[in-house]
Chain A
Amino acid sequence: MSDTPSATAELKLPKDLAAEKGLVNVQIDGVWHQFPKGTRMIEACRQAQVTVPHYCYHPKLSSPGNCRMCLVQMGMPPRPAPGQEPQRDENGYEIIGWMPRPVIACANTIGENMGIRTTGDLVTKCREGVMEFLLINHPLDCPICDQAGECRLQEQSVQFGRGVSRFIDMKVKKPKNVDIGPRIRLDDERCIMCSRCIRFMDEVAGDPVLGFTQRGTHTTLTVHPDRLLDSNYSLNTADICPVGALTSNDFRFQMRVWFLKETPTIDVNCGTGTNINVWTRGNKIHRITPRLNDEVNSAWMPDSHRLNFHYIDSASRLTEPLAKTAANHSATTWSAALAEAASRIKAVPAAQVAIIASGRMTNEELFLARTLAAEIGTTQLSLVPRTAEADALLVAADRNPNTTGAKLVLETEDPYAKLDSIREGVRNGSIKTLIVLGEDLITDAGFTADDLQKLDFLVQSSVLANPTADQAHLVLPSAAFAEKRGSMVNLSGRLQRLNRVVELTGQAHDDWEILRDLILALTGEKNEVHHIEDIFKAIAESIPAFNGLTLSKIGHQGTQIAETGYQIPLLANERARKAAGLING
C-alpha cells in the first residue's frame, strides 16, 4: 500500500481516532466505549449503563473512596519491552493485561485502552466481602427505620449479601436517636461511614459541622461540640445518606416510602424555582425532595422551602366561597359569588377598579389577570413584591417565584410598579373596587384594615384564611402550588412546569378557572377555554418568548426562554469545582 494521506487515514488506530476528539477508548464488560479524558471509572460505567454499586460516591461531591463497594477489575495493556511493538487485536485495540487485584471505580480516572470488568468472580467476591463487613455492626432495625424501602444497604444486601451472619461477637454499640439539629435525627449504629453528609456540609453547604471521631469499628459520626447541624441545607444530608443514619424529623415515622408516589413539580418559595419531587399517599403530601436539574438547583434544596407544605391541608385552609353578610362571612355558591363579583365590578367606572395580582401566580394565571384588566378597562394592575435576604446558594432575594414570567406575560419592565399608586388610590378614595388575587394585602403589601374598609367592594382569592379576607366582601378559595398545573419562569429565565400533585380541597377552584369564570361572568360569553393548555397556547401565540412552546414541550427539566443574566450562586460554585476536577458533576 502506498503512503498517500488517504491510505494512512485508513490505518489510523482507535486510540488516534479517539484522541482527535479528546476522548479515550475504554472497554467496559467487553464493549468498547469512548469517554472524555479525566472521567472517573464509575461515571464512565454509568454512562455506558453498567451499574456499579456504591455508597460514598456522589457525582456532586468529591470522591474519598472509603466505602469500597465500587471495586471493579481493571486492566491496561502491558508495557512493551524496548523495541517491542504492542500487541493489538484485529480492531487495533491493544491486548489488555488484567490486574489480579481490584480497584475502586469512584476515585480512579480512565485511561487509553483501559479495560473495566464489573462482573466476574473477583468483583462478585469483593462485593460480598464488603457487604459482609458493612453488615457486621449494622443493627438491622429496618422495621423501624425510615430509610427502609429506599436504603442502598438493603438493596445491595439483597443482591450481594449472604443472608445469614457469620459474626458471633457482640455488635459495637453506638449512640442511637441522637438529636444533632432541629431538623435531623442521627442514628450512629446505622451509619456505614460513607462520609457523604460530612462532604456535603463542607463542600456544598459551607458549614462543616459534621465529622468522624474514634477509629476502626468505633468510628462515629458526630456534630462538632457546641454546634448543631442547623444549616438551612441540613435536610439534604438525609437525602444523600445511603442508609437510615440521618433521617428527617419532619418525615420521621410519618409513612413508609413504598406507599408514596412521587410527582415532579417545582418549588414556589423563591425565584430560583428549585425542581422538586412531591411524595404523596392518597391526597396527602408527606414530603418534598429536590429533583436533579443541573441548570437550576443541582441536586439540593433549602430546608425552609422543603418544609413549607404543611399549610396545604391545615385548618386555616379555605374550602368554600364566602360572602360577607353583616359582620361575618357565610358560605355561598360559586355561581352566586361570581355573579355578585361581576355586577359589583360593572357597577363602577373602570378607572375606579384595580387588580392586585401575585408573583406566585403562574404565567397562565397572570395572562388571564391581564385579560381581566383589559376586559374591565383598567390599567391599574400590579403585583406585590416579596423580598427577603438571599443566601449564597439557592435562596434568592426575590421570594416571588414568577417575577420573570410576570415581566414577560404582562409585558412590563416592573410588574410591581403600580402597587404604590393603587395603595394611594385606595386611601384617597379614587379606587373603589379592588380585585386581589392570591395576596394578603395587610400582611405583605402595606395596606391597613382601615384602608380596605374604605373600599366599596373587595374580592380576594386565597388559599388560606388571612387578615385581608376578613375585610373582603367576597372570598374565593383557590389552589395551592401542589394542586395546580401551569408554568413559571425562574430568575435565570428558565420556563418550568408545575404539575398537579394532589386534588383540590373542598370547593376550592384552580386559580385560572376562577379568573376565566370571572371574565366570563363580566362578558356574559359562552366558555371556550376548557383546558389550561388553551391558555398556554394563547400565551405562545401572543408573547414572543413563548413562541412555539406548549406545556408538554417544557419538559421536566424546563426550557430556557430568556437571558436575564442572573446566576444561581450554588451553580457557580459547582461549575468551578467541576472545572477543577474535584467532582464529576
Chain B
Amino acid sequence: MAVVKLQRPKLNFGEKIYFGALIKGFFLTMTHAVKSLLGKSAGAESLASSGLGVTMQFPEQRWDDHLPEYYRGAPALVTDEQGRERCVSCQLCEFICPPKAIKITPMEIPSDDPWAKVEKRPLEFDIDMTRCIYCGMCEEVCPEQAIYLRKDYLFAGFSRAEMVHDKKRLYEIGGVRVGLVNKWNELK
C-alpha cells in the first residue's frame, strides 16, 4: 500500500490561539438561537416543530409521518392477499439473525387445511425484542417474503416475557402484504 505523507497546514498566530474561531462559533450559535426564537429554524416546518428550534415534543408529537421509506422498525410477519401465512418456517431468519432473537417451532399443516399444499408453517414464532437489533437480515434472507421490518418502534414492557413478540403479535404488527410470491397457488 502506498503511503501518502500529509503536510500539516501552516497556521499563523491568529489561528494558533483559535480565539477567532471561538468568536466565529459563538456568532453562529447566536444566529441559530435568534432564528429559533423567531420561529425561523431550517426544517422546522417539515419536522413539525413545537415552535422552539426543530425540537419535537415526544411523545405528544411523533415523527411517524416523517419516517423514510427505508426505515427499519420492528420485524413482523405478514399474510398474503388470500390470508395465507406467508411464513413456511424454513428457519433461515433464525439462522441468520445476528443476536439470535428469533425462535421458530415448525409444524406440519394438517391435510384438511385449505393450504395443506404448503405442508409447513410455524407453530410458534417468537422474536425477542430485547435482543433484536433491527438490522433487517431476516427480511433480506426470507425466501417467501414473509417477514418485514415495519415502522413500529415503540415497545415497552414490565418484564422480559412481555418483550417477546409471539406469532399472534407479529401478524398484528405485520398485517397483509400484497406481493410477488404466488408459488403456492393451486396451478403452480
Find residues 122-170 in chain A having any chain B CB closer than 8 Å to their own CB. Answer: 141-144, 148
Contact A148 B90, beta carbon cutoff 8 Å: yes
In the complex, what distance in Å separates the CA atom of A253 from the CA atom of B118?
Answer: 12
Find residues 228-263 in chain A having any chain B CB closer than 8 Å to their own CB. Answer: 252-256, 258-259
Contact B88 A259, beta carbon cutoff 8 Å: no
Contact A253 B108, beta carbon cutoff 8 Å: yes
B151-174 toward A: CB 8 Å interface, digit per residue (1/0)? 000000000000000000000000
The 8 Å CB contact of B107, one of A141, A176, A253, is: A253
Q: Is A177 an interface residue (CB 8 A)?
A: yes
Contact B95 A252, beta carbon cutoff 8 Å: no
Q: Separation in Å of the B96 CB from the closest CB of chain A?
A: 11
Contact B143 A142, beta carbon cutoff 8 Å: yes
Q: Is B144 an interface residue (CB 8 A)?
A: yes
Contact A144 B88, beta carbon cutoff 8 Å: yes
In the complex, what distance in Å separates the CA atom of A505 from the CA atom of B95?
Answer: 26
Contact B108 A252, beta carbon cutoff 8 Å: yes
A-B pairs under 8 A by CB, number? 33
Contact B95 A143, beta carbon cutoff 8 Å: no
Contact A256 B120, beta carbon cutoff 8 Å: no
Measured between beta carbons, the chain A residues less than 8 angstroms from B119 are 144, 177, 253
Contact A143 B144, beta carbon cutoff 8 Å: yes
Q: Separation in Å of the A185 CB from the closest CB of chain B?
A: 10
Contact A256 B107, beta carbon cutoff 8 Å: no
- Residue with the greatest number of chain B CB neighbours at <10 A, chosen from A143, A255, A256, A259: A143
Closest to B90 in A: A143
- Residue with the greatest number of chain A CB neighbours at <10 A, chosen from B94, B118, B119, B144: B119
Q: Is B106 an interface residue (CB 8 A)?
A: yes
Q: Is B79 an interface residue (CB 8 A)?
A: no
Measured between beta carbons, the chain A residues less than 8 angstroms from B107 are 253
Contact A254 B143, beta carbon cutoff 8 Å: no
Measured between beta carbons, the chain B residues less than 8 angstroms from A252 are 108
Find residues 132-188 in chain B having any chain A CB closer than 8 Å to their own CB. Answer: 143-144, 183
Find residues 84-125 in chain B having any chain A CB closer than 8 Å to their own CB. Answer: 88-92, 94-95, 106-108, 117-120
Q: Separation in Å of the B98 CB from the closest CB of chain A?
A: 16
Q: Separation in Å of the A434 CB from the closest CB of chain B?
A: 44
Closest to B146 in A: A143
In the complex, what distance in Å separates the CA atom of A258 from the CA atom of B96?
Answer: 11
Known: A177-B119, A253-B120, A259-B91. A143 touches B106 (CB 8 A): no
Contact A258 B95, beta carbon cutoff 8 Å: yes
In the complex, what distance in Å separates the CA atom of A258 from the CA atom of B183?
Answer: 24
Mostly, the A contact residues are: loop
In the complex, what distance in Å separates the CA atom of A254 from the CA atom of B89?
Answer: 11
Interface size on A, residues (CB 8 A): 14
In the complex, what distance in Å separates the CA atom of A144 from the CA atom of B119?
Answer: 7
Measured between beta carbons, the chain A residues less than 8 angstroms from B95 are 256, 258-259
Q: Separation in Å of the B117 CB from the closest CB of chain A?
A: 8
In the complex, what distance in Å separates the CA atom of A148 from the CA atom of B92?
Answer: 11
The 8 Å CB contact of B106, one of A176, A254, A258, is: A254
The 8 Å CB contact of A253, one of B94, B106, B117, B143, is: B106
Closest to B123 in A: A253
Measured between beta carbons, the chain A residues less than 8 angstroms from B90 are 142-144, 148, 256
Contact A143 B88, beta carbon cutoff 8 Å: yes
In the complex, what distance in Å separates the CA atom of A42 from the CA atom of B184?
Answer: 39
Measured between beta carbons, the chain B residues less than 8 angstroms from A255 are 91, 106
Q: Separation in Å of the B108 CB from the closest CB of chain A?
A: 5
Measured between beta carbons, the chain B residues less than 8 angstroms from A143 are 88, 90, 92, 143-144
In the complex, what distance in Å separates the CA atom of A256 from the CA atom of B143?
Answer: 15
Measured between beta carbons, the chain A residues less than 8 angstroms from B183 are 141
Measured between beta carbons, the chain B residues less than 8 angstroms from A256 are 90-91, 95
In the complex, what distance in Å separates the CA atom of A183 from the CA atom of B90?
Answer: 22
In the complex, what distance in Å separates the CA atom of A22 from the CA atom of B139?
Answer: 60
Contact B118 A144, beta carbon cutoff 8 Å: yes
In the complex, what distance in Å separates the CA atom of A254 from the CA atom of B94?
Answer: 14
In the complex, what distance in Å separates the CA atom of A177 from the CA atom of B183?
Answer: 17
Measured between beta carbons, the chain B residues less than 8 angstroms from A144 are 88, 90, 118-120
In the complex, what distance in Å separates the CA atom of A259 from the CA atom of B120?
Answer: 18
- Residue with the greatest number of chain A CB neighbours at <10 A, chosen from B91, B95, B107, B183: B91
Q: Separation in Å of the A43 CB from the closest CB of chain B?
A: 35
Measured between beta carbons, the chain B residues less than 8 angstroms from A176 are 117
In the complex, what distance in Å separates the CA atom of A449 from the CA atom of B183?
Answer: 61
In the complex, what distance in Å separates the CA atom of A328 from the CA atom of B119?
Answer: 46
In the complex, what distance in Å separates the CA atom of A259 from the CA atom of B96?
Answer: 11
Measured between beta carbons, the chain A residues less than 8 angstroms from B117 are 176
Q: Separation in Å of the A174 CB from the closest CB of chain B?
A: 13
In the complex, what distance in Å separates the CA atom of A258 from the CA atom of B143?
Answer: 16
Closest to B119 in A: A144
- Residue with the greatest number of chain B CB neighbours at <10 A, chosen from A252, A253, A254: A253
- Residue with the greatest number of chain B CB neighbours at <10 A, chosen from A142, A144, A252, A255: A144
In the complex, what distance in Å separates the CA atom of A254 from the CA atom of B88?
Answer: 13
In the complex, what distance in Å separates the CA atom of A327 from the CA atom of B170?
Answer: 50
A518-538 toward B: CB 8 Å interface, digit per residue (1/0)? 000000000000000000000
Measured between beta carbons, the chain B residues less than 8 angstroms from A259 are 91, 94-95
Measured between beta carbons, the chain A residues less than 8 angstroms from B118 are 144
Q: Separation in Å of the B130 CB from the closest CB of chain A?
A: 20
In the complex, what distance in Å separates the CA atom of A334 from the CA atom of B107?
Answer: 40
Closest to B143 in A: A143
Measured between beta carbons, the chain A residues less than 8 angstroms from B143 are 142-143
Q: A143-B144, A144-B90 are in contact. List 9 more A-B contacts (CB 8 A).
A: A141-B183, A142-B90, A143-B88, A143-B90, A255-B91, A255-B106, A256-B91, A259-B91, A259-B94
Write 27 A-B pairs (CB below 8 A) sorted by A numbering: A141-B183, A143-B88, A143-B90, A143-B92, A143-B143, A143-B144, A144-B90, A144-B118, A144-B119, A148-B90, A176-B117, A177-B119, A252-B108, A253-B89, A253-B106, A253-B107, A253-B119, A254-B106, A255-B91, A255-B106, A256-B90, A256-B91, A256-B95, A258-B95, A259-B91, A259-B94, A259-B95
* A-binding residues in B (CB < 8 A): 88-92, 94-95, 106-108, 117-120, 143-144, 183
The 5 closest A-B pairs by CB, nearest first: A143-B90, A144-B120, A253-B106, A256-B91, A144-B88
